[in-house]
């Protein structure tokens, strides 16, 4: 375990694989959701909106873990345990970038007609476990 992403982990995060993110609920129970994911150097980035449970959980307790495994190779995986910071800056750009990565199209259509405020969740690893 280390706090840097090995090259194989970065390659995995460059692919349009779906990740699972764990946050901690107000009662201490872990909560899980499926997310789009990328890396920025050694940080892992996901997107959320300020009206989501995930946002409220991270605002209360920034300890977050992310796991991703290739859908065609499920015994390979990356787990990142880290500390998250959140910022509205770049939030719209990130979700549009994700929509292009996962669906080949910009912009992301899902927020249209909503008042969703998009947030960048930047997870700085404390521990990285990678089995390539």
Q: Residue 43 contacts by C-beta under 8 Å, 6 or more apart in sequence?
A: 122, 123, 124, 125
Half-sphere exposure in the Cβ direction for 24 (13 Å, CA): 13
Q: How far is the CB of 36 from its own copies (least distance, A)?
A: 10
Radius of gyration of the chain (CA): 14
| Tally of CB atoms within 10 A around 23 | 25
78 vs 94 by CB, closer to its own copies: 78
As measured in angstroms, the least distance from the Cβ of 115 to its own copies is: 22
Task: Name residue 127's beta-bridge partners.
Answer: 81
**Nearest-approach distance from CB 34 to its own copies, in angstroms:** 5
Check residue 69 for interaction with its own copies (CB under 8 A). Answer: yes
Stretch that binds its own copies, among 29-37, 43-51, 88-96, 114-122 (CB under 8 A): 29-37
| 34 CB-near residues (< 8 Å, 6+ apart) | 18, 19, 20
The contact mask relative to its own copies for 83-122 (x = CB under 8 A, - = no) is ----------------------------------------
Give residues in contact with its own copies (CB under 8 A): 18, 20, 22-25, 28-34, 61, 63-67, 69, 71, 74-75, 77, 79, 81, 126
């Amino acid at each position: 375990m280390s706090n840097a992403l090995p090259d194989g982990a970065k390659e995995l995060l460059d692919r349009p694989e779906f990740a699972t993110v764990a946050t901690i609920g107000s009662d201490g129970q872990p909560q899980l959701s499926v997310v789009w994911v990328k890396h920025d150097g050694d940080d892992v980035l996901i997107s959320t909106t300020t009206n989501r449970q995930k946002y409220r959980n991270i605002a209360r307790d920034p300890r977050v873990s992310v796991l991703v495994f290739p859908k065609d190779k499920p015994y390979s995986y990356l787990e990142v345990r880290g500390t998250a910071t959140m910022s509205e800056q770049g939030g719209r750009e990130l979700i549009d970038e994700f929509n292009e990565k996962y669906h080949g199209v910009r912009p992301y259509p899902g927020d249209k007609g909503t008042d969703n405020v998009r947030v960048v969740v930047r997870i700085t690893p404390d521990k990285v476990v990678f089995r390539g």
